[in-house]
Amino acid sequence: MSVKSEKIKSGWLLSFGDMVTLLITFFILMIVLNKGEISKVQKWLEDDLDQISIELTDRLKDAIFIKVKRTSLGVEININNDQAFVEGGFKPSERLAKELTEVGEELKKVPLLTEEQSKVLPAGIAYDAGKQGLHLRREISIAGYTDNAKINPESSLRNNWFLSTMRAESVMQLLSTSSGLPQDLFGIAGYGMYRPIASNDTLNGRAKNRRVKIVITANFTHQEKLEK
């Protein structure tokens, strides 16, 4: 092979290598920019959830049955008191009903929960979300739990699965009514004696396991995931 042919071959390889390097650099840049836009959108959501937590905590500072805390999942509201529900039943006590009504009244002031995506998102956030094909998803999930004490099978409560689910459902009804939020924004579950947070071998542990947890979440998801 001639020297001229060698130069042509090496020149082509150098050009190809430069092109590959440029393409890799371009795709890395796109990934970085994309992550930056998603981070900005997510930060807006996190700031809104922070504000919800602050306002609920302030409103419920004198509450007996309800405790509010901010977690990585969203805003968590815990009901954990033996007097929170009518003894041996699933209906909220008068005091718990009052406190849940206060929660509902606070939630209906929150645009993140009450407005459509097109109205609640600031223009810049809406633009970034639209570019990424992201859609706002909001949910208030309510889960009931019990201890491992068996329920008389002849009782109208039937079992711990039923009791925990009915407590979650009764909390949902109160929140939905007092907030005016649509019921399709809510999700309920009953786990019975499963998923304990303390040992059922002690009175104190069993008391901790009898609880209802409300979690307010908001996140952006792609349309295809939203439809599933």
- What is the reported pLDDT for 11? 54
pLDDT for residue 36: 46
The pLDDT score that the predictor gives to residue 193 is: 94
On average, the pLDDT of the chain sits at 83
104 pLDDT exceeds 90?
A: yes
Per residue in 17-70, pLDDT (tens digit) is 566 665 565 455 444 444 444 577 788 889 999 999 999 999 999 999 999 999
How many Å apart are CA 57 and CA 192, to the nearest integer? 28
Stretch 72-86: mean pLDDT:
93
Per-residue pLDDT, averaged over 205-221, amounts to 93
Residue with tokens 């981070």: 39
> Which listed CATH number (1.10.540.10, 3.40.630.30, 3.30.1330.60, 1.10.3720.10) goes with 3-227?
3.30.1330.60
Q: What pLDDT is stored for residue 29 in this prediction?
A: 46
SS3 content of the chain, % helix, strand, coil (to 5): 55, 20, 30
Alpha-carbon distance of 144 to 82, in angstroms, equals 13
For residues 147 and 201, what is the distance between their CA atoms, to the nearest angstrom?
10
> Regarding predicted confidence, which is higher, 29 or 102?
102
Q: Residue 125: pLDDT band by 50, 70, 90 thresholds? A: confident
Condensed to tens digits (0 to 9), the pLDDT of residues 149-200 reads 988 877 888 899 999 999 999 999 999 999 999 889 999 999 999 999 999 9
Task: Report the share of the chain in percent with pLDDT over 90.
Answer: 55
Note the pTM of the prediction, 2 decimals: 0.79
State whether residue 134 is helix, strand or coil: strand
- At residue 34, the pLDDT reads 47
